[in-house]
Amino acid sequence: MVNLRQLDLNLLVTLDVLLAEQNVTRAAQRLNYSQPSVSVHLAKLRDVFDDPLLLPGPRGMRPTARAESLREPLRQALAALELAVGADAPFDPARARDTWRLAASDNSTATILLPALGGLRVQAPHTRVALLPMVPARLARQAEEGEIDLAFHTRDDSPASLRSRVLFDERYVLVGRHDHPRLRRKPTLAQFCALEQVVVSPDGGGFSGVTDSALAAQGLSRQVVLSVPHFLVVVQTLLASDLVALLPERLVRGNPQLRVVEPPLVLPGYQMTMLWPERCHRDPAHRWLREFIATALPG
């Protein structure tokens, strides 16, 4: 039995060409080897397979039965190996049938993915997208184990093990329904603290955040009366009540049903990033998707 660990791959390439050409001189020319080098390879192959493989014939060389049995499996194996180690073929979105699994909050879905979806359906009509819940504590594991291909999350809270690209800088604005009686102009800090407010608590049930830390530094507090797990629930709540909220500007930009004013205190914003694992970094399809999403962002 042939020991593959001791077999030089170059010998198999030579054998494949010899079986095709059945002539040492022509095989040498095709391989860009000298004729003596091909003869040395043939001698080693005969020793490896314990068979003459190619015998002198009236018009060159003729393969033995053992060589004939190797011809097709060897050709297929070398073709598969060449495909495996060769350069990636260019990605053609029009013919692609990939399924991409993306982890995003409802905010990221509304501000990043939905604006890209129409163009994605045009350029890659046979692909599919699965939107999965954003669970920050599980992002790194999900990405490395292949459960997700891309994720969208704030830069400061992203796993260091994942590749990232900053998509945009975001800031918070104060929002209420378009005819809110107390948002006709920018409120004072005291007026802001007196407003009944709703906050987003992704982990569930929280009633404070960076705004409350900023207020506490000034010895102040606000009235948070409702905590919800999703940004879009906040928008619906504002439309049906006198509650107000501090929301990412992109989420509410251009919505005629909402009134947007500057908050009366300076709040830290955040950078939204696109995240992916190292295993996908050089994949042509994945690279195309990342670039498409980044360029499809609204201005």
CATH number of the domain at 172-268, please?
3.40.190.10
3-state secondary structure at position 228: strand
Contact between 246 and 173 (Cβ < 8 Å): yes
Give domain limits for the chain. Answer: 4-85, 99-168+272-295, 172-268
Which pLDDT score is estimated for 173? Answer: 98
- 106-151 pLDDT, tens per residue? 999 999 999 999 999 999 999 999 999 999 999 999 998 889 999 9
Nearest residue to 14 (alpha-carbon basis) of 1, 5, 36: 36
Q: Choose among 224, 180, 179: nearest CA to 200.
A: 224
Helix, strand, coil abundance in the chain, percent, nearest 5: 45, 20, 35
% of residues, the chain, pLDDT over 70: 96
Among 31-40, 83-92, 162-171, the range with the most confident prediction by mean pLDDT is: 162-171
Q: Are 150 and 276 in contact (CB under 8 A)?
A: yes
Instruction: Judge whether 99-168+272-295 and 172-268 match in fold.
Output: yes
Q: If you average pLDDT over residues 31-43, what whole number do you get?
A: 91
The b/e string for 119-156 (b: 16+ C-beta within 10 A; e otherwise) is ebeeebeebebeeeebebebbbebbeeeebbbbbbeee
CB 120 within 8 A of CB 292: yes
CATH topology for the 4-85 domain: Arc Repressor Mutant, subunit A (1.10.10)
DSSP 8-class letter at 110: I
| Fold of the CATH domain 99-168+272-295 | D-Maltodextrin-Binding Protein; domain 2 (3.40.190)
Mean pLDDT of the chain: 92
